[in-house]
Amino acid sequence: MFKKMSIRTKLMSLLLLAVVLPTGISLTASYLYTKESVTEKSINENTKLLALGGTNLSNYFGGINQLVLSIYSGINLPSSLFTIIQNTRPSDPPDTGPELADNRDIIASQLYNLFQSNQDIYQIHLYIRANHESNSLIKGVFHREKNPSYVPLKDESGRNRPFLEPTHLDHRYGLKHVIPNLKSESTEVFSVHYPIYRTPSNEVMANLSIDFKLNELREIAKSMFTPGTDKFYLVNEDQKVIYTSEEGGNISQLAAGWSDLPADKNEGYFYWDDKDFGGIVFFKRITGPLFTGALIKLVSYDNLYSDAGHITEINAWIGLAFLIIGVLAAVWISFRFTTPIKRLISYTQKVQIGQLDAKIDMEAEDEFGTLARKMTAMTKTINDLILTEYRLELANKTNQLKALQAQINPHFLYNALQSIGSMSLRYNAPKVYDQIYSLGSMMRYTMATGRTEVTLEEELEHVENYLLLQKGRFGEENLTVMLDIAEHTRHIVVPKMILQPVVENIFKHGFNEGIKDGRIMISSAMSHSGGLILTVSDNGAGVPADQIPIIKSAIMSKDNKSSESIGLSNVLARLQLYFGEEARIGISANEYVGTTVTLAFPIVKLREDHDEGGTYEGFNR
């Protein structure tokens, strides 16, 4: 491909390559190194952040667990919360008057102590199963009422064990009278739910639920990600989202493929790329009595490689400046040295198409100027020598073609045939009229000596008229004519009278002893080189294999006078007058019976009303 490029293109390409290649290699190497360094640094930092954050969260949830388990510390104390719950029996609903003071109610006092122990506690709900009683402490206000319709929550497996409920809006656990004007579902909380057992048995006496505001959890999480850049998720072992950095924070379940963490690792990272996210997924598993889950952090490629992109952008601007200088220099140098060559090429193209009197506009005094002046002088000399000879040769060709066509030219005979045709119609003889019409069409075709070129379609029409006469002679039932003409070849211009002599030769030599079930096949096709191939086959007597070389030699001979091959010799002569030695004629015996004659020659032009481009430039005469 490089060999086929112009000198200007080669020169510009090499000059640009000398600038672009070093710059491109430098930018690529810089970007890849920076990208690798940033990736390695990010992996180390995020792994440490998640490890530290996991420890902090484990301690945080561990503190909550210890806080709740403190209820069991008063098992043997008569005034402890555990003992009060243990001794509760089914009873009538208590008075639901004003809220009880903390110092007058042991349950209220114990719940208040729990409330005071953690500033993030938003609400505490204690449901005692024995009397279906709910005890609620919200914003420091205690409330108690019967709540028989309340159904304590269980974990995902349906078992009574401590579990952590994902982030949700607060609610009142089915209580109807709590604090006037205090709206529910106004605060985001996560909840821990503990069954209180009658130790040492597994009987559940009560259910304790504590709602925590997200303040401390959010602060711990923020230490592990960059808001607005990274994505962070705290999920339990069932992929339920406890906390997320996404705006709204109301995602309940992760459905993305990257959430399927490797089962054999407690921490690590992996790369992920799909239509929703492309980047690195970091994870850290957390295991504890209250919470078992994982920290997941997503760092996108865009954010990860932003620094590398900025550095590369700066280098790219520097490289672009060098590239612009290189392009301008390459264009100036290439045009300076190749413009004279372009002019010489344009001049030779004009000479090639016959403009031998063309001039070249070049006043340079260098080697290009000298070459231009020498070429102009040489072309003028050639033009003077061949102009007369060329015109004479054209005149001779025209005369030879007209001489070969002028075999039958009596106009009176054509007029007489028209009169006879009219009479045949009057006497109701349409077949006679068809024969006369075909003969008249053939005469008109051969009498038009002013036309030496016709389309293949017109030549085929002339042959069909000739074959119609032959069918009348031998009987339509004895002669079958088949045409296999490629549609795109019908409008190719060919010399006149090249097919009819070949077909006539069939009747002289192939069917000279009569016809019975005779078949003639005429086909056209394009050759691989773009030329036209015409084939005429028959099932006549055929030619002996030892006679074919003799006939071919006679056809090729310019002095051929043999009656057996004079028709084919004339056809070859007509073709060679148009196309020179590129025109060929072949003759071969068919496999079983008959002969095939093949005409092959280049395409000179198409008929202009059937070809948008006019002359077909693929071949020259």
**Given the structure tokens 């579902």, which residue do they identify?**
185
Domain end, chosen from 365, 386, 403, is at 403
* Residues 478 and 606 occupy one common structural domain: yes
Least confident of 143-152, 356-365, 466-475: 356-365
> In whole angstroms, what is the distance from residue 291 CA to residue 237 CA?
9
Has residue 562 been placed in a domain? yes
142 Cβ contact list (under 8 Å, min separation 6): 99, 100, 102, 105, 108, 111, 112, 135, 136
Which position has the higher pLDDT, 359 or 551?
551
Does the residue 111 lie in any domain?
no
Region 451-460 average pLDDT: 90
**478 has a pLDDT exceeding 80:** yes
Phi, psi of 124, rounded to the nearest 5 degrees:
-125, 130
Q: Does residue 166 have a cis bond before it (omega within 30 degrees)?
A: no
Q: Is the pLDDT of residue 339 over 90?
A: no
Distance (Å) of CA 162 to CA 48, 114, 159, 206, 510: 30, 17, 9, 12, 108
Q: Is residue 58 part of a domain?
A: no
Asked if residue 486 and residue 368 are part of one domain, the reply reads no
User: How many percent of the chain have pLDDT more than 70?
Assistant: 83
The 10s digit of each residue's pLDDT in 539-552 is 988 888 888 888 88
Mean per-residue pLDDT, 162-181: 83
489/600 same-domain check: yes
Does the pLDDT at position 187 exceed 70?
yes
Residue 255 placed within a domain = no
The verdict on 387 and 497 lying in the same domain is no
Amino acid 618: pLDDT: 29
Q: Worst-scoring range by mean pLDDT, 166-175, 368-377, 503-512?
A: 368-377
Residue 581 lies in a domain: yes
Q: Does the pLDDT of residue 383 top 80, yes or no?
A: no
Identify which of 619, 548, 616, 559 has the alpha carbon closest to the alpha carbon of residue 585.
548
Q: Is the pLDDT of residue 193 over 50?
A: yes
Three-class DSSP category at 542:
coil
Q: Decide if 575 contacts 617 (C-beta within 8 A).
A: no
Answer with the one of 345, 375, 403 that is the final residue of a domain.
Answer: 403
Give the residues across from 282 on adjacent strands.
Answer: 269, 297
What DSSP state is assigned to residue 518? E
Band of residue 611 on the pLDDT scale cut at 50, 70, 90: very low
What contacts 24+ positions apart, CB below 8 Å, involve 565-572? 567/501, 567/502, 567/504, 567/505, 567/508, 568/501, 568/502, 568/505, 568/597, 570/404, 570/501, 571/497, 571/498, 571/501, 571/502, 571/599
Residues 6 or more apart whose CB falls under 8 angstroms from that of 255 comprise none
User: pLDDT-based confidence at 525, cuts 50/70/90?
Assistant: very high
What domain range is 376 assigned to?
A: 354-403
Regarding whether 582 and 495 lie in a shared domain, the answer is yes
pLDDT at 17 exceeding the cut of 50: yes
Same domain, 381 and 477: no
DSSP 77-137: -TTSHHHHHHT----PPPP--SPPPGGG-HHHHHHHHHHHH-TTEEEEEEEETTTTEEEEE
- How many Å apart are CA 368 and CA 358, to the nearest integer? 17
* 383 and 498 both lie in a single domain: no
> 47 lies in a domain?
no
pLDDT (tens digit per residue) in 20-77? 788 778 778 877 777 788 788 888 988 999 999 889 999 999 999 998 888 888 787 8
Average pLDDT rounded to a whole number, residues 438-450: 74
Indicate the residue among 403, 426, 461 that finishes a domain: 403
CA 332 – CA 326 distance, rounded (Å): 10
- First-last CA distance in the chain: 30
Return the higher-pLDDT residue of 239 and 149: 149
Write down the pLDDT at residue 55: 92
pLDDT per residue as tens digits for the range 148-169: 899 998 877 777 888 888 888 8
Total domain count, the chain: 2
| Shared-domain flag, residues 372 and 490 | no
What's this model's pTM, rounded to 2 decimal places? 0.48
- pLDDT beyond 70 at 103: no
Q: How many helices (H) and strands (E) does the chain have?
A: 13, 18
Report the DSSP pairing between strands 121-128 and 241-244. unpaired
CATH code of 573's domain? 3.30.565.10
Q: What pLDDT score was predicted for residue 561?
A: 55
